[in-house]
Amino acid sequence: MKNLSNQPCLIARSLALVGDAWSMLIMRDAHAGLTRFDDFRKSLGIAPTMLTGRLSALTAEGLLEKRRYSDRPPRDEYVLTEAGCDFLPVLFAIGAWGRKHRGGGEVTRFFDAETGTEIDPVTIDRTTGAPVGTRPIRIVAPDEPPQGR
């Protein structure tokens, strides 16, 4: 597979960074408040070398920031950056799709910590106000002019 990070499609570029399950789950756990290596490892059951690689990539790409919280012994934590915080709606959109198409049985649910209400995400096009996925789309290459009605 060719390098997706050089593609003009922003979906392809983004998947080059967070398109694997471990990265998505690390971001989920970071949004749930986990910051330390051992906490991620315990939550995910991921091999330490795999976790190290994913945390390094997410840090290098600016979704997480590595911060030292102990000098003796040296220990770091991983905190969400602005870009990392902006990733939460993506996770919830994937979760909403999963609820519709992969639900059944017992599933994890997400609640607003302030109101206690279950989160029911909807993705809306800002310009039309239409829910994304209810209208046809057209993909336009960078060198093509957009075509209106």
Domains and CATH numbers, the chain: 4-86 (1.10.10.10), 87-135 (no CATH)
Give the residue-averaged pLDDT of 36-48: 97
Q: Tell me whether the omega of the peptide bond preceding residue 74 falls within 30 degrees of 0, making it cis.
A: no
Q: Which of 68, 56, 70, 5 is nearest to 26 (CA)?
A: 56
pLDDT in tens, 55-111: 999 999 999 999 999 999 999 999 999 999 999 999 999 998 898 898 778 888 899
pTM of the full structure: 0.86
E strands in the chain: 64-71, 74-80
What is the reported pLDDT for 148? Answer: 61
Confidence of residue 24 (pLDDT cuts 50, 70, 90): very high
Q: How do the residues of the chain divide into helix, strand and coil, expressed in percent and rounded to 5?
A: 40, 15, 45
Give the residue-averaged pLDDT of 8-32: 92
